[in-house]
């Protein structure tokens, strides 16, 4: 999910070279670039998809929370973890 946001902000030129601090052997986002990326990431988390099992629209943020609940139950040995599989 993060990689799609990275490609989106770069392809749409929302983050440009002026948003990076160029140092030896690395690039670091400046505050303006960080704000732009976080805004785009939060927008992505707010997007909704149709959840087949729940039969309703859920945001990516809610979907991640549901997966965390399933992992918790798995770690507590309540039930076996079955990952959410996207179908498109």
For residue 43, give both structure tokens.
């927008």
Give the residue extent of every domain in the chain.
2-75
- At residue 69, the 3 state secondary structure works out as helix
Q: What pLDDT digit, counting tens, does each position of 14-37 carry?
A: 999 899 999 888 889 999 999 999
Residue 37 in contact with residue 5, Cβ under 8 Å? yes
Residue 58 in contact with residue 49, Cβ under 8 Å? yes
Q: Which residue ranges in the chain fall short of pLDDT 50? A: none
What's phi and psi for 27, nearest 5 deg? -120, 135
H or E segment at 42? helix 31-46
Residue 23: predicted pLDDT: 84
Nearest to 44 by CA among 30, 19, 61: 61
């Amino acid at each position: 999910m993060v990689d799609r946001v990275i490609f989106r902000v770069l392809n749409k030129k929302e983050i440009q070279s002026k948003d990076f601090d160029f140092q030896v052997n690395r690039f670091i986002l400046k505050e303006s670039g960080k704000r732009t990326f976080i805004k785009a990431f939060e927008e992505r988390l707010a997007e909704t998809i149709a959840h087949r099992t729940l039969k309703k629209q859920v945001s990516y943020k809610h979907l991640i929370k549901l997966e965390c609940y399933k992992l918790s139950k798995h770690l507590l040995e309540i039930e076996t973890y079955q990952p959410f599989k996207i179908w498109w």
